[in-house]
Structure formats: C-alpha cells, structure tokens
Amino acid sequence: MRIAVYPGSFDPITNGHLDIIERAAQLYDEVVVGVAENIRKSPLFSLKDRIRFAGNALAHLKNVRIESFNCLLVEFARRHDAHSIIKGLRAVSDFEHEFQMAQLNRKLDPSIETMFMMASPEYVYLSSSAVKEIAEYGGCLEGLVPPEVEEGLQKSFSR
C-alpha cells in the first residue's frame, strides 16, 4: 500500500487544498489528511469544525481519511504507515519555509519523503488566511471554499 499524509491547519480547508488532495488520491492508495490541533496558532475554527469541513468536502473520495494530530508530523506519518508527506507549493514564497520543514522532517525520519505538488494555476493566490480576510470584510467567497465553509465563515464574522 502506498500511503501518504497531507498535513495542515485547514483553518479552514479551501478549494486549493481540495485540489491537491484530489490529485494526490489518484497517485496513492490512501491519503490521510492530518488536521493539526495547532494550539499555538489560535485557529478561527475549532478542531471539530475543521475536521467536519474537510470530511464533508472529501466524502466522495473513498481512499481519503481525515485524522487530527498533535505530535511531530513524522510521528503522525509513521502511525499511519505513510512514507510520503504531501505538500502543496503555490509560489516561490512558499518554498523557503517548506524546504526548511522538509529538511527537518528528513533529519527526524529519513525513511519519510516529502513530495511537493504544484498548486493548479486557478488556486495559486488562495490561502486560508486570505479567505478569512475576505470573509471578515464581506467579500465574495464563491469558488474559493466549499459551500459549508463559506457558511461557517459568514457565521463567524457576522457575530
């Protein structure tokens, strides 16, 4: 079995994440989406909501599972017998940070390979932070996030 993990905060999951996961699901027998608890990042959405949004948006992919994690990423990968970590790259600006994390993860466990997938052109500008900012100022989120996430964002910022 070729198993990969795709980690992130997913606060919230965007159509850019979904695009990478859908493409990865065609390359691997199983993709485990790892939702980081990330207590230090103080996310907008609770872990429960972030998992629910991802689960509902990915329910059509039978070889994709959603799990939370609160440990080193390599440990999470080992627990799921994964030998690949999938990361999406949008622009050169993503590279430096991702390069550093990939080297650190390789140092921590050389048996786990980080695989980079380029974002599809229509999503290179998209990030969870950007959609939160758009939602905060009442902008249009169509085509950027799944409808359930759009609703969640609107609710969060209408309080």
Query: Which H or E element spans position 53?
Result: helix 47-57
Tokens 């992130």: give the residue: 8
- What is the secondary structure of 56-95 as a DSSP string? HHTTT-TTEEEEEE-S-HHHHHHHTT--EEEEEE-SHHHH
From 23, 90, 106, 132, the catalytic residue: 90
Active site residue 90: yes
The answer to whether residue 84 forms part of the interface with ligand PNS (CB under 6 A) is no
Q: Which is nearer to ligand PNS, 12 or 152 (CB)?
A: 12
Active site residue 78: no
Specify the 3-state DSSP secondary structure of 118.
strand
Stretch that binds ligand PNS, among 6-14, 45-53, 55-63, 131-139 (CB under 6 A): 6-14
Task: Among 36, 44, 47, 82, indicate the residue that binds ligand PNS (CB under 6 A).
Answer: 36
**Footprint of ligand PNS on this chain (CB under 6 A)?**
7-9, 36, 72-73, 101, 104-105
